[in-house]
């Protein structure tokens, strides 16, 4: 596992052999893999602040996610208890409107199978946002992120042998979504917190 993580941290595929336009800056892969963690957070891709710090979810989205999970920063960054594997390991840069680009496709195609094969002990994948849901839930996911999260019970019961709990991205840009969908905080968050407490 140490060798695998070292290979990922040295990866330059998105610069030297990209699928399309190359990454517009130097790669800095950000992830935490673990031989003992029973929970994996499967997110989208690091933002600019995380790219600068090298620490996953080291931003306001991370604060909200830790709140949702009911854990503190120390627990969140304890690799023995929590793995963090985004769809794209590097900050993908900004689009013309100043929003983060989608996760780079090179990461999933090159590394994800090996990463998850190296962590058979994972008992729950917390699947954040539509890109991670597309990868981890496959054809089982619904047409929209909202419907996928609404049907969380089905995914938690059976996900190709590895239970998954889909949630929206904890970005503060999703505050409007949370207000329009109060069932998420009422119904899903208590289950998320209970599962995290059980497995951590």
CATH code (residue 178): 3.40.470.10
Q: Which residues pair with 83 in a beta bridge?
A: 40
Residue range 58-70, pLDDT digits in tens: 999 999 999 999 9
For residue 162, name the pLDDT band (cuts at 50, 70, 90): confident
Residue 20 CB-density burial (10 A; 0-12 exposed, 13-18 middle, 19+ buried): exposed
| Count of domains observed in the chain | 1
Cα 79 to Cα 34, 85, 122: the distances in Å are 6, 12, 12
Q: Considering only CA atoms, which of 42, 10, 4, 49 is closest in space to residue 26?
A: 10
The token pair at 73 is 């920063």
pLDDT computed for residue 158 by the predictor:
63
Asked whether the predicted pLDDT for residue 159 surpasses 60, the reply is: no
pLDDT computed for residue 108 by the predictor:
94
Using the structure block, give the residue that is written with the tokens 């995914």: 155
Kindly give, in sequence order, each residue whose CB lies less than 8 Å from that of residue 125, ignoring residues fewer than 6 positions away.
Answer: 39, 40, 41, 42, 136, 159, 162, 163, 164, 165
CB neighbours (10 Å) of residue 74? Answer: 7
57 is in which domain, residue-wise?
A: 2-199
- This prediction's pTM: 0.94
Give the H/E segment covering residue 1: none
Residue range 3-44, pLDDT digits in tens: 999 999 999 999 999 999 999 999 999 999 999 999 999 999
pLDDT computed for residue 157 by the predictor:
81
In degrees, rounded to 5, the angle at the alpha carbon of residue 51 between the alpha carbons of residues 118 and 86 is: 30
pLDDT computed for residue 98 by the predictor:
86
């Amino acid at each position: 596992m140490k060798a695998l993580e070292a290979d990922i941290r040295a990866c330059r595929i998105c610069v030297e052999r990209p699928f399309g336009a190359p990454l517009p800056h130097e790669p800095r892969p950000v992830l935490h893999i673990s031989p003992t963690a029973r929970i994996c957070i499967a997110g989208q891709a690091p933002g600019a602040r995380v790219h600068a710090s090298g620490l996953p979810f080291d931003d306001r989205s991370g604060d909200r996610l830790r709140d949702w999970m009911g854990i503190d920063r120390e627990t969140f960054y304890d690799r023995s208890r929590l793995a963090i594997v985004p769809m794209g390991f590097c900050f993908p840069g900004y689009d013309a409107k100043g929003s983060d680009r989608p996760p780079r496709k090179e990461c999933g195609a090159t590394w994800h199978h090996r990463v998850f094969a190296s962590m058979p002990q994972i008992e729950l994948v917390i699947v954040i946002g539509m890109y991670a849901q597309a990868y981890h839930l496959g054809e089982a996911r619904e047409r929209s992120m909202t419907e996928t999260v609404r049907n969380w019970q089905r995914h938690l019961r059976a996900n190709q042998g590895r239970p998954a709990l889909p949630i929206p991205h904890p970005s503060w840009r999703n505050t409007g979504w949370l207000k329009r969908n109060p069932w998420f905080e009422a119904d899903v968050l208590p289950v998320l917190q209970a599962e995290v407490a059980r497995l951590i």
